[in-house]
Structure 1
Amino acid sequence: MKRFYIVGFLALMAFDTLAQISFKVAGEHALPLEFSPAWLLRVFGQPWIYGAFAGYLGAFFTWMTLLQRAPIGPAFAASHLEIVSVLAVSAVFFGEAVGWPQMAGALLILGGIACLAVSEAGEHGARDGRR
């Protein structure tokens, strides 16, 4: 079951990251922003917009599958790992600055997920009589 969670949350993070990065790139290629047929053609003429749709669909089905088995507290927290992964991808591929506030936020997210995972593991141990 532990492998299921690891693979599932990594897949969820990958799909969410794909969606966010794809929207960013598609949006950059669709500038200038205007509501017109020409703008819609620029948006839907970008292959990145379809990467965003694929990412959201993949994330939706992965999330629904995870919710059937994963405890809701850690699952909800881990579903926000894409914030950290998008930060890293944006820094590496787009040269976006990552300062101490972003690093502190990423560490707080990871720490919160770790705390919830440890807490949930402790509760399962107590329920199973291992405490």
Structure 2
Amino acid sequence: MKRFYVIGFALLLGFDTLNLVCFKLAGTHALPVEMSAAWLARVLSSPWIYGAIAGYIGAFVSWMSLLKHAPIGPAFAASHLEVVSVMALSYWVFNEPVTPTQVIGALAIVAGIVCLAFAEGDEGTGDVVPA
């Protein structure tokens, strides 16, 4: 079951990150933003918008599969790791600045997930047994 969680959360993180990065690239490709048929054509002609849609679908399927088995507390917390991965990719790929406050926030997210995972491990599986 542990392997299922690792693979499931890795897929969720990958799909969420894909979605957000592709939306950034699709938005950049579609500039300037305007309410026109030309703008809509630019959006729909961008391969990045389809990457974003694929990321959304993949994240949804991954999340629904994980919710069948994973304890909700750590699962919900771990589902927000994309904040950290997107911040790191934005720094690396888009040369966006990362402030000390963002780094502290990312460390807090990771520390919170680790604490929840250890707490859940101490309590057992966390599965609800029907009466």
TM-score of the superposed pair, with normalisation by structure 1: 0.94
Distance 2:69 2:36 in 1: 45
- The equivalent of 1:59 in structure 2 is 59
Gapped regions of structure 1 (runs ≥ 5): 126-131
Q: 1:2 matched to which residue of 2?
A: 2
Q: Which has the higher helix share?
A: 1
**Aligned residue number for residue 114 of structure 2:** 114
Distance, in Å, in 2 between the alignment partners of 1:43 and 1:20 is: 15
* 1:1-80 alignment runs, 5 A limit: 1-80=1-80
Structure 2 residue runs of 5 or longer lacking an equivalent are 126-131
Between the two proteins, the alignment pairs up a number of residues equal to 126
Amino acid at match of 1:33: V
Tell me which stretches of 4 or more aligned residues in structure 1 moved more than 6 Å.
none
Give the TM-score normalised by structure 2: 0.94
Give the residue type in structure 2 aligned to 1:36. S
User: Aligned-residue CA RMSD in angstroms?
Assistant: 1.2
Give the share of equivalent positions with the same residue, in percent: 61
Q: Secondary structure at the match of 2:68?
A: helix
Question: Residue in 2 aligned with 1:129?
Answer: none
Residue type of the alignment partner of 1:104: I
What SS does the aligned partner of 1:69 have?
A: coil
